[in-house]
Amino acid sequence: MLRALTATATLICAGGAWAHPEIEAALSRLNADIAARPTAAALYLERGELYARHDDAVAAEANYLRAAELAPELPRLNIARGALELAGGRPAEARRLLDPVLARTPQDIEARVLRARALAALKEPAAAVTDFNTALAATATPSPDLYLERAALLPPAAALLSIDEGIARLGPTLALQLRALALEESLGRIDAAARRITQVAAQSERKESWLKRRGDLFTRAGRFREARTSYLEALSRIADLPDWLRASPEVKQLANELHRLSNS
Amino acid sequence: MPLRNFLIGFFLSALSALHAATTIIRGPYLQTATPTSMVVRWRTDTTEASVVSYGLERNQLTSTARAEGIGAEHIVLVADLKPNTRYFYSVGATAVPPPAADKKAPAEDAPGRAAINSFTTPPVAGPAQPTRIWVLGDPGTKNATQTAVRDAYYKYTGTRATDLWLLLGDNAYPDGTDTDYQKAIFEIYPKTLATSPVWPALGNHDQKSANSGTQSGVYYDIFTLPTRGEAGGLMTGTEAYYAFDYANIHFICLDSQDSDRTPTGAMAQWLKADLAATTRDWIIAYFHHPTYTKGTHDSDKDTDSGGRMNDMRTNLLPILEQGGVDLVLTGHSHVYERSWLMDGHYGKSTTFDAAAHVKQKSNGRSDGEGVYRKPRARTPRNGEINVVTGSAGHAGSATKPPALNHPAFFIALNEPGSSVIDVDGLKLDLVFLNDKGEKRDWFSIVKE
C-alpha cells in the first residue's frame, strides 16, 4: 500500500533530475506526449521503462501502475513489471506477474528467462531449470551465461551434461570449459578435467599457466609424476616466449614456482 | 530468327532493368577483419544473391566470394586473403565481369552497385606496424555535432588510412533500432564503413533494441563479431564481448551493459584468461561505462547507470590492471576525461590518493612534462591511462555543465570530439580532437 501511494505521488510529481541530456530529451518528449494523450497506456509503459533503465524504480513503478490501470492487458507491461520486481529483490511478485504472460505467450524468451531467475531466487531449482531449458531451446544464439545459470541449479553430473550441451552449441568457450573442468574434478574425473585444460591451452597463444594448472590438478589428485611432466612442459613453454615477455617479473616468478614444483 | 533475337534482347533488357532496380541501402561495411579474411556486409532493397568481387587491382576484380541463398541482408566471408594487403572490391548479385580494355573502372565513390571500394587486411599479429585507430564514443545523435566531429577527423587524417575504428556504445540514439542505426551510423560514415573495419561495443541505448543473453536484436543483427577467437584472443562464445589482434596490439571489448559483470562471471573469467594468453606489446580495452567519471554521469553514485560503472571499476578493472592493460577507453559520459598513468584505484573519488594511485604524475606529452614510460616486459599493475571519450555525438549541457572534478583525471573537457590513436612500435599516441578540429589533449606512452 505504501509502495503504491509513493508511486502515485511520484507519478504526480514526475520530472527529470538528471544532467544527462538525452534522458532529459526522452523524458520531455514522453511528458509532452502523455500530456497530449493522457490515457495512452503505452506511453506510461515507455516512460516507466525509461525510468527503470536509469534506476528510478519508484518512478518506473508509478508509470507501470498507471499503464496497468489504463490497459491491464498491454503487451510487455507485465514483463517490464516482472523485471522491475526481480531487480528489486521481490522474486515472488515477479513470478506472479510473469506466470500469466507465459500462459498467454509461452514462446516469450525474455519472460521465460526472467521467470527462471525468479524461480531460482525462490529456491525452486527444478522449475527454474525447466524454464531455462525452454528458453535455451528457443534461443538461436544463447550466451554462455544462460548455460552457467542453469548449471548452477543442477547437481554436478547433470550440470556437466548441461555445460557440455552449451559447448556443443557454442564451441569450447572458455567460461564453459572452466566450469566443466571444475565439475569434472569434483566428480573425481581427473583425466577428463586434464583433457579440458589441454583443449583450453590449445586455444591460447601462451600455454604456461594452463600447463601449470594441469600440473596442480594432477598434484591434488596425487598423480605426482604427471604433475611434474606438466610443470616441466610449462617451463619449456616459458623458454619459448619472446625475451621481453620472459624477462617480466610475473613470468620469472611463475618460472621459479614451476622449478620448485617440478623438483618437489 | 528476328523473333528469337527480339526475345533474347527483351529478356536481357528485363534482367538489366531488374538489376538496375536493386539499390544498396546500407553499406558495404567491413567486419571481423583478420589477416586472412574479411566479412563484407550490405543491405539491398530487394532480395538477391550475395557476391563480393575482389582483386588486387581496381580493374581486375577477378576473384569472387559468395554467401548461400538470396536475401536483402548480405553477409559474405571473403577468405584466403593475404595479410596486410590492399584489396579492391565490389558487391552485388553477380560477379563483376572482366573490364573491357578501353573502359575505366568506376570511381570509388560511384553511387550504387557499381562502386568499387578497397580494404586492407590486418597484418599478421605480432610484429609492429604503424596503426591508426579512430575512437568514437556515443556518436549516434544524427545531428550537426556528430557530423562536425566526423568531418574534423576526416580533415585531420587526410589521406592517412584509418586501419580500424572503435564504437564505444550508444552508437545510435535514441533506441538503437534498425532505423536509428541507419541514420546515425550507415548514413553518417559510409566512406569509413566501406574501407575500415568497425569494432563496436554495446551501450545502454543500443540495448533498448538488443539482448546479450540471447544475442538477439538490432545490435547483434547488424554486427558480425568474433565468438571463436577468429581474430585473435580466446573464444568467448558470444558477440557481447570479444578480443582481436592488430599487429602488436591486443584489443579487448567488454559488455558493460548486459552481461554478467561479477568477478566470477563468464566475462571476467574469459578476460583473465585472455589477458594471460596474449603476447602483443599493447593491450587496449574498451567498453561503454566508464570506471571513473564526473561528466554527464557520476561514477560515485551507486545508482547511476544501475551500478555498472561501479561494477566495471571494482570487478573488471582489477583484472585488466593485473593483466597489464595500457589503455582503457570508455564512453557513456558525454565528455572527454583523461587520467594520469594510474593503477589500483577501485573506490569512490574521495578515496583517490595521488601518492598511491598515480604511477607517473606528468601530462604525458613530449612537448610538456614528458611522455609516460612503461617497461615492455608486461608487468601487472604498471599503470594505464583511462580515457572517457563519450562526446562524438554531443557534449554535456552548457547550461547545467557537468562537474568534471574527478581527481583521477589530468584533464576533463565538456566538448564534442573523438579520439585518434596512433601506435608505432613501442610508442602509443592519443589525441582528442574536438568538433572544430582542434587538438584539445594529447599524450604518449612509450615502452622500453
Q: Is A141 inside a domain boundary? A: no
Partner-chain contact B274 A174, CB within 8 Å: yes
A60 CB within 8 Å of a chain B CB: no
Q: Cell numbers for B280, please give them.
A: 602483443
How many C-beta atoms lie closer than 10 Å to residue A70's C-beta?
17
In chain A, what residues touch B402 (CB-CB under 8 Å)? 19
Distance from CA of B269 to the nearest CA of A (A): 6
- pTM for this entry: 0.90
Q: Is A261 inside a domain boundary? A: yes
In chain A, what residues touch B300 (CB-CB under 8 Å)? none
A205 CB within 8 Å of a chain B CB: yes
Distance from CA of B103 to the nearest CA of A (A): 47
DSSP bridge partners of B427: B424, B446
Look at residue B16 in the predicted model and tell me its pLDDT: 46
User: Which among B291, B295, B358 is positioned nearest to B318, based on CA atoms?
Assistant: B291
Region at A84 (left for phi over 0; alpha for psi -120 to 50; beta for the rest): alpha
Distance from CA of B237 to the nearest CA of A (A): 5
Look at residue B299 in the predicted model and tell me its pLDDT: 97
DSSP, res B314: I
Partner-chain contact A206 B277, CB within 8 Å: yes
The backbone torsions φ and ψ at residue A55, rounded to the nearest 5 degrees and listed phi first, read: 65, 30
Low-confidence ranges of chain B (pLDDT < 70): 1-21, 99-114
A&B contacts, CB < 8 Å: 146
Does the pLDDT of residue A4 top 80, yes or no? no
Alpha helices in B131-206 (DSSP H): 144-157, 178-181, 190-195
Interface of B with A in 269-298 (CB under 8 A): 269-270, 273-274, 276-279, 296-297
Q: What average pLDDT does the segment A38-53 reach?
A: 94
DSSP, res A73: T
The backbone torsions φ and ψ at residue B342, rounded to the nearest 5 degrees and listed phi first, read: -140, 170
Which domain covers residue A214, as residue numbers? 188-264
Interface of A with B in 148-167 (CB under 8 A): 148, 166
DSSP 3-state of B166: strand
DSSP bridge partners of B70: B49
Partner-chain contact A109 B240, CB within 8 Å: no
Angle (nearest 5°) at CA B86 between B83 and B90: 120
By the 8 A CB rule, do B263 and B315 touch?
yes
Q: What average pLDDT does the segment A10-30 reach?
A: 66
Q: Which chain A residue's Cα is nearest to B276?
A: A206
Q: Is A123 inside a domain boundary? A: no
Instruction: Give the DSSP H or E segment for B72.
Output: strand B63-78
Q: Is A264 inside a domain boundary? A: yes
By the 8 A CB rule, do B254 and B274 touch?
no
Does the pLDDT of residue A19 top 70, yes or no? no
Q: Cell numbers for B209, please give them.
A: 533494441
Look at residue A100 in the predicted model and tell me its pLDDT: 96
Q: Is A128 inside a domain boundary? A: no
Q: Is A221 inside a domain boundary? A: yes
User: Which among A173, A200, A139 is positioned nearest to B242, based on CA atoms?
Assistant: A173
Residue to substitute from B205, B235, B293, B319, interface A, most A β-carbons within 10 A: B235
A16 pLDDT band (50/70/90 cuts)?
A: very low
Does the pLDDT of residue A18 top 80, yes or no? no
By the 8 A CB rule, do B54 and B116 touch?
no
Q: What average pLDDT does the segment A80-98 reach?
A: 97
Partner-chain contact A241 B269, CB within 8 Å: no
By the 8 A CB rule, do B406 and B386 touch?
no
Q: Is A162 inside a domain boundary? A: no
DSSP, res A244: H
B28, B76, B143 from B98: Cα distances, Å: 21, 21, 42
Look at residue B20 in the predicted model and tell me its pLDDT: 54
User: Which among A44, A52, A43, A1 is positioned nearest to A23, based on CA atoms?
Assistant: A52
Residue with cell 590486418: B122
Please tell me the distance from the alpha carbon of residue A199 to that of residue A197, in angstroms, as a whole number: 5
Higher pLDDT, A150 or B174: A150
User: Which among B319, B261, B251 is positioned nearest to B289, based on CA atoms?
Assistant: B261
CA B111 to chain CA mean position, Å:
25
Please tell me the distance from the alpha carbon of residue A142 to that of residue A156, in angstroms, as a whole number: 22
Distance from CA of B296 to the nearest CA of A (A): 5
Does the pLDDT of residue A12 top 70, yes or no? no
Please tell me the distance from the alpha carbon of residue B386 to that of residue B398, in angstroms, as a whole number: 24
Please tell me the distance from the alpha carbon of residue A192 to that of residue A180, in angstroms, as a whole number: 9
Look at residue B208 in the predicted model and tell me its pLDDT: 87
B426 CB within 8 Å of a chain A CB: no
What is the rounded end-to-end Cα distance, in angstroms, of chain A? Answer: 67
Complex confidence, ipTM:
0.84
Q: How many domains does chain A have?
A: 1
What is the rounded end-to-end Cα distance, in angstroms, of chain B? Answer: 79
Look at residue B18 in the predicted model and tell me its pLDDT: 47
Partner-chain contact A204 B265, CB within 8 Å: no
The backbone torsions φ and ψ at residue A72, rounded to the nearest 5 degrees and listed phi first, read: -60, -25
For chain A, what percent of residues have pLDDT higher than 90? 81
Look at residue B67 in the predicted model and tell me its pLDDT: 97
Interface of B with A in 172-201 (CB under 8 A): 173-174
Q: Cell numbers for A103, please give them.
A: 500462459
Interface of B with A in 36-55 (CB under 8 A): none
Interface of A with B in 224-253 (CB under 8 A): 241-242, 244-245, 247-251
Q: Is A151 inside a domain boundary? A: no
Distance from CA of A263 to the nearest CA of B (A): 25
